[in-house]
Amino acid sequence: MSDPHCIFCKIVEGKIPSKKVYEDEEILAFHDIHPWAPVHFLLIPKEHITSMTHVEERHAPMLGRMMALVPKLAAQEGCRPYPEGGFRVVCNTGGDGGQEVPHLHFHVIGGPRPWLKG
């Protein structure tokens, strides 16, 4: 399922280019076009899920796989190892939560500080 008006769905479909970090049948990770830190990529489900509020029980296995990918991809993209290094995972939900794109996504942000935001 996709939304023809959603920018992330268009990225999934290849209609808008992205610098991919990872891809499988259900998940896509790509670099943020306006990074806040030396490492900043987005991890999204390929299925259009509007926000964290719209997550259903059936999404649990896919979301678990997404979270299990985070440390591997963070290291791959240049985050230093824990505990000195590390990264941040952020999921904005709704207007009050700062969500700008209505497609569930997780920001993975890391690298040496200071960062531009956050």
Residues annotated as catalytic are 105
Q: Are strands 39-45 and 106-110 parallel, antiparallel or unpaired?
A: antiparallel
